[in-house]
Amino acid sequence: MKLILVLTVTIKLAIVSATDTEWWKTALIYQIYPRSFKDSDGDGIGDLTGIKEKLPYLKSTGVDGIWLSPIYLSPMRDFGYDITDYKQIAPEYGTMKDFQELLKEARKLGLRVILDFVPNHTSNESDWFIRSARREPGYEDFYVWADGIVDPERPGEVLPPSNWMSHFRKSMWEYHPGRGQYYLHQFAIGQPDLNYRSQRVQAEMKGVLRFWLDLGVSGFRVDVINLLYEVDPKNYGGVFPDEPLSGNSDTDPDDHDHYHHIYTQDLDETYEVAYDWREVLNEYTEKHGEYKMILSEAYTSVLNTIRFYGNESRDGTIPFNFIFLGEINKNSTARDIKTTVDKWMTYMPHNKVANWVNGNHDQSRLASRQGPERGEEIGMTDGHVSWEDTKDPQACNTDDPINYWKKSRDPNRTPYHWDSSVFAGFTCGVAPWLPVADNYKEINLQAQLRTRRSHFNEYWPIQKTF
Ligand SMILES: *[C@@H]1O[C@H](CO)[C@@H](O)[C@H](O)[C@H]1NC(C)=O
Ligand SMILES: *[C@@H]1O[C@H](CO)[C@@H](O)[C@H](O)[C@H]1NC(C)=O
Ligand SMILES: *[C@@H]1O[C@H](CO)[C@@H](O)[C@H](O)[C@H]1NC(C)=O
Ligand SMILES: CC(=O)N[C@H]1CO[C@H](CO)[C@@H](O)[C@@H]1O
Ligand SMILES: [Ca+2]
Ligand SMILES: [Ca+2]
């Protein structure tokens, strides 16, 4: 829907002679947030058939592939990043048959399809979680369970096992009365974290990769990979140690940023799992004669990030380069941009391929962050979403109708502007799931295709010569 990822600085040209094992080195991948891209049946929610209809358009822009944000069965408490079943399609997005048709059509056009892999957590409605909560044999340790600690001030009462705070505010621990224990959730209460110290979890997740690779996808982008592990209480006298304060004065004690995350992210074991997944993809690269790509998402230091590339003995993932996201804004000059490019190139190991990320569904749109003339594709800016219309759990959890917008990711997830008709041509139904941004009459694809010197025609000139 918005993000364009350019692998290597030399944009195209090389692709002409690239073989099927080299394609990824020069690829442009277009991220689609399925819910907001194109609604084909009028229910106000974007879907797979909508995406399929737009593939010829995407092909004409010159992109090499698409990355779909999660399309799996989910109660949508975090809009698909809370998965009930990794091997089923969410009915509101379509059926497995729709997905296979989308894949077939993409292949025909020469577009690769990359799926989102969300390994850190499932939905609390997943069969695995329900079994684990019941302590069914084989599933007891699928998630991170722990007893509470006795409240020193109120004997008989229990407190969460540690002071860890979720990325969406408040405790990372939720009490489950059925099991009589707390479970860990780095994000929403409905997103329990899987336990990667369970060999069965590891095997199941490799099975998920194989399932989609067998269907013919070209790879994955891995969600919050650096959060797979939290410290093992075995190494801390049987307890989960509290995290120290970060000293960030813009936060309150319920905020994730109030603490310094030395026990809940970037642990060494994470890298082994990343390298293991690369091995699974290598099998399929051989089998299908097409390089299978694995990109990983981690908001962490450059040094931690580049470790995902692998080391002398093992091949790793392509870690998203978020330096542009963090360091470039409206005021940045060409010199700032060069410094940012140099930073990645300085740290990146030899013989690896660079990548450049400018946005995603968690960030304010590029045109809003860096100025309208630097926006992507058609230069869409963030929409306005009132408190009443707010859907993002990260914003809802603030319980603050005044300041919720500081946390909300809804403004950058409003529907795509196809044309100037009602709801910007996104849906033919009565209302889209999020309101369309006010400026769709001026900023939309159809208007820009008709205007020679439009944002769109300036943005894609290189690709359009192919
Ligand atoms: C899942 O969590 C939500 C809170 O996010 C809760 O309302 C719901 O009852 C839970 N469902 C199950 C099956 O545990
Ligand atoms: C490479 O990484 C793996 C996994 O973290 C580790 O076990 C191994 O020792 C590392 N090898 C080298 C040469 O650094
Ligand atoms: C850009 O510069 C202006 C003027 O110095 C300043 O007020 C503004 O905060 C800066 N914006 C960003 C995003 O740094
Ligand atoms: C950029 C991205 O994919 N962010 C996701 C990270 O993971 C959380 C929880 O799964 C999601 O809420 C974000 O959208
Ligand atoms: Ca729909
Ligand atoms: Ca985790």
pLDDT (tens digit per residue) in 72-104: 999 999 999 999 999 999 999 999 999 999 999
* pLDDT tens-digit series, residues 329-339: 999 999 999 99
> Domain ends where: 243, 264, 285?
264
- Is the pLDDT reported for residue 121 higher than 80? yes
Is residue 8 very low, low, confident or very high in pLDDT (cuts 50, 70, 90)? very low
Return all residues near 205 (Cβ < 8 A) that are at least 6 apart: 119, 194
Looking up residue 13, the CATH number of its domain turns out to be 3.20.20.80
- Ligand 4: atom nearest CA of 116 is 3
Protein residue closest via CA to atom 3 of ligand 1: 190
Protein residue closest via CA to atom 5 of ligand 2: 272
Say whether both 37 and 127 belong to one domain.
no
* pLDDT tens-digit series, residues 361-396: 999 999 999 999 999 999 999 999 999 999 999 999
- Is the pLDDT reported for residue 2 higher than 90? no
Say whether both 147 and 47 belong to one domain.
no
**What token pair was written down for 415?**
């529907």
Say whether both 285 and 254 belong to one domain.
no
CA distance 212 to 115: 8
Is residue 357 very low, low, confident or very high in pLDDT (cuts 50, 70, 90)? very high
Q: Is the CB of 272 under 6 A from ligand 2?
A: yes
Check if the beta carbon of residue 49 is closer than 8 Å to that of residue 92.
Answer: no
Say whether both 164 and 302 belong to one domain.
no
Q: Is the CB of 311 under 6 A from ligand 2?
A: yes
Say whether both 152 and 82 belong to one domain.
no
Report the separation in Å between the CA atom of 422 and the middle of ligand 5, taken as the mean of its atom positions.
16
Say whether both 272 and 260 belong to one domain.
no
Distance in angstroms between the alpha carbons of the first and the last residue of the chain: 22
Ligand positioned closest to the Cα atom of 331: 3
Residue-level pLDDT at 155: 86
Residue linked to tokens 């007893």: 147
- Is the pLDDT reported for residue 122 higher than 60? yes
Ligand positioned closest to the Cα atom of 48: 5
308: left (phi over 0), alpha (psi -120 to 50) or beta: alpha
Q: Is the CB of 315 under 6 A from ligand 2?
A: no
Pocket test for ligand 4, best of 77, 362, 363, 396 (most atoms within 8 A of CB): 362
Report the separation in Å between the CA atom of 181 and the middle of ligand 5, taken as the mean of its atom positions.
39
Is residue 9 very low, low, confident or very high in pLDDT (cuts 50, 70, 90)? very low
Say whether both 173 and 310 belong to one domain.
no
Ligand positioned closest to the Cα atom of 194: 6
- Is the pLDDT reported for residue 464 higher than 50? no
Q: Is the CB of 269 under 6 A from ligand 2?
A: no
Output the DSSP codes for 424-440. GGS-SSS--SSPPPGGG
- Is the pLDDT reported for residue 4 higher than 50? no
Is residue 241 very low, low, confident or very high in pLDDT (cuts 50, 70, 90)? very high
* pLDDT tens-digit series, residues 298-335: 999 999 999 999 999 999 999 999 999 999 999 999 99
- Is the pLDDT reported for residue 10 higher than 60? no
Radius of gyration (Cα) for the chain, nearest Å? Answer: 22
Report the separation in Å between the CA atom of 190 and the middle of ligand 1, taken as the mean of its atom positions.
6
Protein residue closest via CA to atom 3 of ligand 4: 223
Ligand positioned closest to the Cα atom of 84: 1
Nearest CA among 62, 11, 12, 54 for reference residue 32: 54
Say whether both 432 and 336 belong to one domain.
yes
Residue-level pLDDT at 460: 80
Q: Is the CB of 419 under 6 A from ligand 2?
A: no
Say whether both 241 and 318 belong to one domain.
no
Check if the beta carbon of residue 122 is closer than 8 Å to that of residue 194.
Answer: yes
CA distance 312 to 271: 13
Say whether both 248 and 352 belong to one domain.
no
Residue-level pLDDT at 445: 97
Protein residue closest via CA to atom 3 of ligand 3: 331
Return all residues near 455 (Cβ < 8 A) that are at least 6 apart: 372, 373, 375, 377, 378, 379, 443, 448
The residues facing 417 across adjacent strands are: none
Residue 421's SS3 state is coil
- Is the pLDDT reported for residue 14 higher than 60? no
* 44-46-47 Cα angle (round to 5): 125
Catalytic residue list contains 297: yes
Output the DSSP codes for 94-133. --HHHHHHHHHHHHHHT-EEEEEE--SB--TTSHHHHHHH
- Ligand 2: atom nearest CA of 275 is 4
Beta strands per DSSP E along 334-390: 355-357
Residue-level pLDDT at 12: 38
Say whether both 183 and 300 belong to one domain.
no
- Is the pLDDT reported for residue 463 higher than 60? no
Question: Any idea which of 3-12, 118-127, 429-438 has the lowest mean pLDDT?
Answer: 3-12
Q: Is the CB of 271 under 6 A from ligand 2?
A: yes
> Domain ends where: 264, 284, 314?
264
User: What residues line ligand 1, using a CB cutoff of 6 Å?
Assistant: 77, 124-125, 188-190
Instruction: Indicate the length of the chain as a whole number.
Output: 466
Looking up residue 151, the CATH number of its domain turns out to be 3.90.400.10
Q: What are phi and psi of 242, to 5 degrees?
A: -65, 145
The residues facing 4 across adjacent strands are: 30
DSSP 8-state assignment for residue 417: -
Report the separation in Å between the CA atom of 22 and the middle of ligand 2, taken as the mean of its atom positions.
26
Work out the average pLDDT over 190-195: 98
Q: What is the residue-averaged pLDDT of the chain? A: 94
What percent of the chain has pLDDT above 90? Answer: 91
- Ligand 1: atom nearest CA of 75 is 1
Work out the average pLDDT over 244-264: 97
Q: Is the CB of 308 under 6 A from ligand 2?
A: no
Ligand positioned closest to the Cα atom of 370: 3
Residue-level pLDDT at 15: 39
CA distance 285 to 361: 29
Say whether both 38 and 187 belong to one domain.
no
Between the alpha carbon of residue 393 and those of residues 33, 261, 396, the distances in Å are 17, 22, 5
Residue-level pLDDT at 16: 37
Q: Count how many Cα atoms sit within 13 Å of the Cα of residue 418 in the half-sphere of its side chain.
A: 20
CA distance 353 to 364: 27
Nearest CA among 34, 61, 64 for reference residue 49: 34
- Ligand 3: atom nearest CA of 369 is 13
- Is the pLDDT reported for residue 38 higher than 60? yes
Query: Residues 78, 243, 297, 382: which is the catalytic one?
Result: 297
Report the separation in Å between the CA atom of 314 and the middle of ligand 2, taken as the mean of its atom positions.
7
Residue type, 195: N
Protein residue closest via CA to atom 4 of ligand 3: 331
- Exposed / middle / buried, residue 455 (Cβ in 10 Å: 0-12, 13-18, 19+): buried
Work out the average pLDDT over 47-70: 96
Is residue 461 very low, low, confident or very high in pLDDT (cuts 50, 70, 90)? low
CA distance 133 to 141: 9
Residue-level pLDDT at 251: 95
Query: Residues 47, 174, 193, 223: which is the catalytic one?
Result: 223
Number of domains in the chain: 2
Residue-level pLDDT at 156: 85
Give residue 437's domain range: 2-120+198-228+265-464
Residue linked to tokens 């020069």: 26
Catalytic residue list contains 22: no
